[in-house]
A = this chain, B = another copy of it.
Amino acid sequence: MAARHSSTREYGAALCRATNDWQVDEWYEKDSRLRCGIVVPMEDAELAADEIDRVAGHPAFVQVLLVARTSAPLGDRRYWKIYEAAARHDLPVGVHFGGGARGVPVTAAGWPSYYLEDHAVMSTAFQAHVASLVFSGIFEKLPALRFAMIEGGFAWLPSLTWRMDQQWHRFGSETPQVRRRPSEYVAERMWFTTQPIEEPHRAADLLTVFDHLGGVDKIMFSTDYPHWDFDSPVHAFQVRIPQDQREKIYTENARAFYRLPARATHQN
């Protein structure tokens, strides 16, 4: 986090370079099943793009990794050079729970009082990013650009896309760069992860959420292990999910999104 947001930009960039080299040396080189995200000094897009260009060719890296708490919503032009670099190397961009920028409160109504409150509304930063990315027009500019929203949940997504479509239908003349319904860009370019998986009071309602999302093709399992609130793959789902959906969520969607090799056939 310090590396991404350091106010000494060159120091932040150096920390990111060191972190990325360490990821390769200490993790990927020791077990190539592991893959890494390119950590970048995201609040300086030129330095961030330099770092992407430096390491993107290495097979260890499968995405550019940003954080959710930023100095502006992610559609802002200050970040576009990051997206151009990611698209240049055909890498998706992951946006991960966490972060923080100087002078920017972590809710849409100022600073919260409790960690629980802070934690409960982290998803609202992701909502701001979804709206911002779509309305910015960046998806028209960069047809290869894809995002994964990591650890921000997804049960709020249908209501946001409904609202965005409705407002765009009435007032889309403000954003001529948005040529199609906002929900179409979301459906084609954005993936979401399960941790923390939403746990409806009636567990089966999760299936309705999947239905409102248009299916589970964009949902990827994530664990956040070893954090206190991590999801175990054994216990994450409180409801029985059909086997084909489980396969997509646990493995197939991530393999496709990150261009990972197909699962080896199990040998008995």
Contacts and interface: CB of A to CB of B under 8 A. Distances in A.
A120 B164 contact: yes
A117 B105 contact: no
B159 A109 contact: no
Interface string A59-91: 000000000111111111100000000000000
A105 B208 CA distance: 34
A212 B117 CA distance: 22
Contacts of A104: 105, 109-110
Contact of A108 (B119, B125, B183): B125
Given A158-B200, A170-B229, A200-B158, A110 B101 contact: yes
B163 A198 contact: yes
A37 interface: no
Contact of A107 (B108, B112, B166): B108
A214 to B, nearest CB: 8
Nearest to A115: B174
Contacts of A120: 131, 135, 160, 163-164, 167
Contact of A159 (B101, B112, B153, B171): B153
A123 interface: yes
Interface in A117-158: 117, 119-125, 127-129, 131-132, 135-136, 153, 155-156, 158
A175 interface: yes
Nearest to A202: B212
Given A106-B108, A167-B229, 20 more contacts: A71-B109, A71-B110, A72-B110, A73-B109, A73-B110, A73-B111, A75-B113, A76-B113, A105-B105, A109-B125, A112-B131, A113-B136, A114-B135, A116-B171, A120-B167, A159-B209, A162-B199, A163-B198, A170-B229, A205-B212
